[in-house]
Amino acid sequence: LAAGSLRLGHPSTAFADLADAVSSSMGGTSGILLELMFRKIGVALSSSPSGGGIAAADMAEAFKAGVEAVSFYGGAQEGSRTMLDALFPASSALTGGDGSVSAAAVAARKGADGTAAMDHAEAGRSNYLSEDVLRGTPDPGAVAVAIVFETLAK
């Protein structure tokens, strides 16, 4: 990444480079968890052939493995009022239904918006905030995930 580019010869190296970029540029727990997610995706894709591209189903399964790594190492799950409230629905949309990024974006947004109705957080920075502050405000990490998927879907 020092050269300012990702190695795109194989998806596993591209995701390894993304993990390195996140690790060197993002602080806090979110940075660590996103690094772990990208590394897990890269490992899951490492057995895929290079040059011919990755099947959508294989990418969806790799993404699912990455989301599950975030849940495992972060100690949260869907409903904890974290980025996982957008990641898990996006993953489900990718592995089921039509598997499109557009469907994942809709699912991520719905999950993120749903966090505004949660009056407590089980993990993340929101865990330190009162019910009065949380109610009506969506989780910032979940919103960020929704924005990323909405941008990818364009």
Q: What are the tens digits of pLDDT across the range 58-97?
A: 999 999 999 999 999 998 999 888 999 999 999 999 999 7
Residue 33: name the closest of 138, 151, 150, 142 by CA.
Answer: 142
Angle CA 91–96–142, to nearest 5: 25
Residue 126's alpha-carbon distances to 5, 43, 87, 132, 149, in angstroms, are: 34, 31, 17, 12, 22
Measured distance between the N- and C-terminal CA atoms of the chain, rounded to whole angstroms:
26
Is the whole-model pTM more than 0.85? yes
Q: How would residue 99 be classed by pLDDT, with cut points 50, 70 and 90?
A: confident
Look at residue 133 and tell me whether its pLDDT is greater than 80: no
